[in-house]
Amino acid sequence: MDLNLCLKVLDAEQIRQADQFTIKNEPIHSIDLMERASEVFVRWFIHTFDEDSPIVVFCGVGNNGGDGLVICRLLNDAGYTVSLFCVGDPDSGSRDFKINYDIIQNYDIPQTVIDETNLPSMGKDVIIIDAIFGSGLSRPVDGLIARTIEHLNAEPCRFRVAVDIASGLGCSQRFEGGPIMKATHTVSFQVPKLSLLLPQNEKYSGELVIKSIGLTEEYLQSLSSNYHYATLAFIQSFIKPRRKFTHKGDVGKNLLVVGSHGKMGAAVLAGRACLRSGAGLLTIHAPACGLDILQSTVSEAMVSVDAQEQLISRVVGLSQFDVIGVGPGIGTDKLTTDALHTLLENFDHPMVLDADALNILADHKDWIELIPAGSVLTPHPGEFSRLIGSSKDDYDRLDNQKKFCMKHGVTVLLKGAHSSICSPKGTVVFNATGNPGMATGGSGDVLTGIITALLGQGYTGFESATLGAFLHGLAGDLFIRKQAKESLIASDLIGYLPKAFKKIMRTKRKKRI
């Protein structure tokens, strides 16, 4: 696993240092780096939006405003109808802002310097480009800028596109007391910013796009960060290819403890996903009512039948398994709770704990110490809060996630749009795949099956969770290339797993002789 192949999540000072290093050592003038960043933004914009909608660019007087001036000029050259509003005194702007402000005076572009009397009103078809403040903001916005942001948030425009980061949103923190631009899209330069990856800031980040602007890669790799953003190259760095003489016993003897009366669908989804993710041998332990269901829908798996008809009460023969996945659909009955306690006491290989297994642990927190080292927990935010207690915000919750993993020697995959996967050493990788269509019942059961299979194939808990989240999201992304997000169901993810695996496996096309 080569974390240097990820995009590092950097703070504002580190980004400033990377800019300066590139300017000095490429070498490139800062004004030319601004031009390059703006060209990257405009190429994306032209690919995303057609020329029918009028564009209104709002610029501050710092370097983010300078980006906005260049973007305004380039979009005008590309045939878009563009207007410019400057928020602040242009004479007090940064050096590069002033250079570009002087240049744009030669263009036939409507320009207005905003004061308290002329905040503009815009129709719903207008696209706002927000270049007022960038990632270097260090305090809440106030005064005219605050009133401008509040005014623009109230306008009926369909799209607000932030340049690098929404104005008013801190790079690594959210400032209380000041307004923040509600962006529908954010084009972040070179690296993602922590604030853009957290659920509480969704309405200020919108759809996240990350575009390289050519900052010096060697310098970026030298910077320290506990936060990383997954890339395909990173995932490919630790894939385990199958050896020629691999047999089914080499790639995992897996046990899934899943299901109860009325919830056997969770067992089916987890089982099919486990098999599609490379499990060599799979046994599913389920209540007796699930026997016929499982034998007919997951025919490649063996079924271990519980003594109880409708729930799980006891699991035996644990020594034959390499990994256990437990939780989907099991409920929290007293007998099932006791069965989980027995599992934790008697199984010393890694486990995947999800859904009701986490709910049971939340009611018996002293059992957390029994979780085998190297295990993976896959809570959604509500389950995580029940497990470790409430957090004041998403930044605090991320810190609590790291503390929990380091204390207990486990990996926690906190599910969401950019799932955060934290290792037992406190290293965090944010997932880069997936889409809103995956917000559907059973999606988590599929993820449990995937991660269980990967653990059984010899991946560490952190590797299994990171690869599993990437595959899970990629399957969803491949589905929506041809289908609507709204129509995605959990079993579709299983159907697209083979394509997801194929996409991430490194292969070389043989040259013809």
**Is 140 assigned to a binding site?**
yes
Cβ count within 10 A of residue 310: 17
174 is in an annotated binding site: no
Q: What token pair was written down for 267?
A: 């067992």
Helix (H, G, I), strand (E, B) or coil at 481: coil
Cis peptide before 328 (omega within 30 of 0): no
Q: Burial, 28: exposed, middle or buried (Cβ in 10 Å; 0-12, 13-18, 19+)?
A: middle
Please check if 329 is assigned to a binding site. yes
- Ligand-binding annotation for 364, yes or no, is no
Alpha carbon distance, N-terminus to C-terminus of the chain = 35
Q: Is 380 annotated as a binding residue?
A: yes
Q: Determine contact, residues 428/398, Cβ cutoff 8 Å.
A: yes
Angle at 23 between CA 82 and CA 207, to 5 degrees: 45
In 93-231 the beta strands, taken as DSSP E runs, fall at 111-114, 127-131, 159-163, 185-189, 207-211, 227-229
- Residue 135 is assigned to a ligand binding site: yes
Residue 43 in marked binding region: no
- Phi, then psi, of 414 in degrees rounded to 5: -90, 110
Alpha-carbon distance 355 to 383, whole Å? 8
Q: Is 317 annotated as a binding residue?
A: no
Rounded to an integer, what is the distance from CA 282 to the centroid of its chain? 30
Distance CA 171, CA 292 (A): 54
Find out whether 37 is annotated in a ligand binding site.
Answer: no
Give the strand pairing for 351-353 and 323-326. Answer: parallel
Strand locations in 357-424 (E): 376-377, 411-414, 420-422
Q: Is 418 annotated as a binding residue?
A: yes
Q: Show Cβ contacts of residue 199 under 8 Å, excluding neighbours closer than 6 positions.
A: 381, 394, 416, 417
The reply, when asked if residue 416 is annotated as ligand binding, is yes
Question: Is 63 annotated to bind ligand?
Answer: yes
CA distance 491 to 495: 6
Beta-carbon contacts of 360 under 8 Å, excluding residues fewer than 6 positions away, are 332, 336, 337, 340, 367
Q: Determine the 3-state secondary structure of 322 from DSSP.
A: coil
> Beta strand pairing status for 55-59 and 82-87?
parallel
Judge contact between 213 and 40, C-beta under 8 A: yes
Q: How deeply is 482 buried, as exposed, middle or buried, from its count of CB atoms within 10 A (0-12, 13-18, 19+)?
A: exposed
Question: Is there a binding annotation on residue 444?
Answer: yes
Q: Does the annotation place 266 within a ligand binding site?
A: yes
> Is 313 annotated as contributing to ligand binding?
no
Is 64 annotated as contributing to ligand binding?
yes
CA distance 165 to 15: 13
25 is in an annotated binding site: no
Q: How many whole angstroms separate alpha carbon 252 and alpha carbon 322?
A: 6
- Strand 7-8, strand 253-257: pairing: unpaired
**Cα–Cα distance for residue pair 316/325, rounded to 1 Å:** 14
91 is in an annotated binding site: no
Q: 372: which DSSP letter?
A: P
**Residue carrying the six token digits 């890339």:** 231
Q: Is 195 annotated as a binding residue?
A: no
| Feature table: binding site | 63-67, 130, 134-140, 164, 167, 266, 329, 380, 415-419, 444-445
| Feature table: binding site for AMP | 415-419, 444
| Feature table: binding site for K(+) | 64, 130, 167
| Feature table: binding site for (6S)-NADPHX | 63-67, 134-140, 164, 266, 329, 380, 445
